[in-house]
Structure 1
C-alpha cells in the first residue's frame, strides 16, 4: 500500500511515517498543498491522509480540487477541528472518513485499511492470467490452484504488472510503486532482483515476464 500524508506538523507526521514503514506501508510526506500536488503529478496512491489546516491553504479546497478532476482516491481527513459541523463539511466535500487529533496509530491504520478494502471491493475481486489468479484486495496469488509465497514487495510488483497485463511497464514506474521518495539509497536496478524472483516462481506455469530493453517489463502467457 502506498499512501500520501499531507501534514505540516512534522513531528507528528514523521512519527506516523516511521510507524507505517514498520507495518509495510509506503508513505510519502507532503508538508503543504503545493508539495502534495507535486507528489500526485508523478505518483498514484492507494489513499491520502489530508490535514485541513495547511500553511498554503485549506485541505478541503485541495480535496474539492481532486474530486473536481475526477480523482476518487480514498481520502481520510486528519484535523484538530472536532465539531460535528467540521466533520459534516469534510464528508460533504468528498472525504471518505475523518479522524480527529490526537489519534491512536492503530486506529489510523485500521481506518486506512478499511478505506483501501472498500475501494478494492468496488473493483474486480480477482484478476486471472492463465494458471495465475491474483486477488487485489489481499495482494495474494494462486498459481495452479496453490497459494504463491510472495514477499511484500514481490506482491506489490505483481500488482502493478498484472493490472497492466499485456503492456510494458517501465522500470521507473515499478520503482515508484515499490519505494518511497525517502528510499534514496535503493537503486532502481533493485527491480531486476524482484523480477528475477517472480520469474523463478512462475517457472513452468505458462506465465512469464518479458523484458524489452529501454521500455520495461510485461507479464503475459508463453507464446
Structure 2
C-alpha cells in the first residue's frame, strides 16, 4: 500500500489509476489525518505501508519529519514547480527524494525501488548462511519492485499481480515474518470490507506452487498463527534497470 498525501482529488484519481495498472494500491491520507493514523494504528496496520508520496510538496513540509519518525519506508515529495529552497527544505525534513510533477507512475516505482534497495541492503557476510543454501548465481529470485514480473535464474516467471505483490511485500520486510492480516492490508488495503482476508491463503498457495516448480524448493516458510517468511538467501532485489516510460 502506498499512501498519497494530496489535497486535490483529481490528482489523486489520476495517480490511483496509473498505480492500479501496475498492481499497486494507492490510498489518500492527508496531513494531520495521516499523522494521527500513524500514531494511533497498530504495528500490523502501519507495516502495510510501503511508501509515502507527499503530493502537496512544500505545503506538507511540517508533516515530512513526523512521517519519517514513524515509518522506515521511502518518502517521496512531489513539487508543482521546481524551487531550490523547497527542494532543500524537504530533503532536510527527511524526504528520500523530491521530484517535479508531472511524474509518471513508472518513474515513481523505480525511485521507490531504488530507495528500498538502499534500506533493505543485506551485508555480504549475511549471505550463504541458510543451511543447504544455494551457490552464487543459482536458484535466485530476482525482484524488481517496479511492476515487472520476477525472474528465476534469469528466466521470467509470469505471475498474476496479486501474487507478484505478495512476493514483493515478503521481500520488502527484510526477512521478517508477516501475518496474513499484514499481507491482506498491504495488497487489498486497510479499508476494504468487501473481500475476505482468507483470500490471501489462496494467493500464497498458488505462489508457493509456482516457486517450487521453478526453484525446485519452497522459499516461503509458513507457521500457523505466526505467518509467512521469505528466505532472503534466494532473493536478489534490483532497481538499476533503464526506465521505459509510457506516453
TM-score, normalising length from structure 1? Answer: 0.73
Q: Is residue 26 of structure 2 the alignment partner of residue 17 of structure 1?
A: no
1:60–1:93 CA contact under 8 A, matched in 2:
yes
Shift of 1:154: 1.2
Structure-1 residue corresponding to 2:96? 96
**1:69-218 equivalence runs, <5 A:** 69=69, 71-80=71-80, 82-100=82-100, 103-104=101-102, 107-122=103-118, 123-124=120-121, 132-138=139-145, 140-142=150-152, 146-161=155-170, 168-203=177-212, 205-207=216-218, 209=220, 211-218=222-229
- Where do 5+ consecutive residues of structure 2 fail to align? 234-247
In 2, the alpha carbon distance for the partners of 1:218 and 1:22 equals 27
Structure-1 residue corresponding to 2:51? 47
Shift of 1:10: 2.1
SS of 1:200's equivalent?
Answer: helix
Q: 1:163 to 1:47 in 2, by over 3 A?
A: closer
SS of 1:207's equivalent?
Answer: coil
1:30–1:36 CA contact under 8 A, matched in 2:
no
How many residue pairs were aligned?
211
Q: 1:181 to 1:163 in 2, by over 3 A?
A: closer
Please identify which structure carries the higher strand content: 1
What is the Cα-based RMSD across aligned positions, in Å?
3.6
1:96-125 CA-to-partner distances (Å, cap 9, x unmatched) read 33344xx33xx3324412321322442448
SS of 2:61's equivalent?
Answer: helix
TM-score, normalising length from structure 2? Answer: 0.67
1:140–1:155 CA contact under 8 A, matched in 2:
yes
SS of 1:95's equivalent?
Answer: coil
- Where do 5+ consecutive residues of structure 1 fail to align? none
2:77–2:95 CA contact under 8 A, matched in 1:
yes
Shift of 1:65: 2.1
In 1, the alpha carbon distance for the partners of 2:85 and 2:176 equals 47
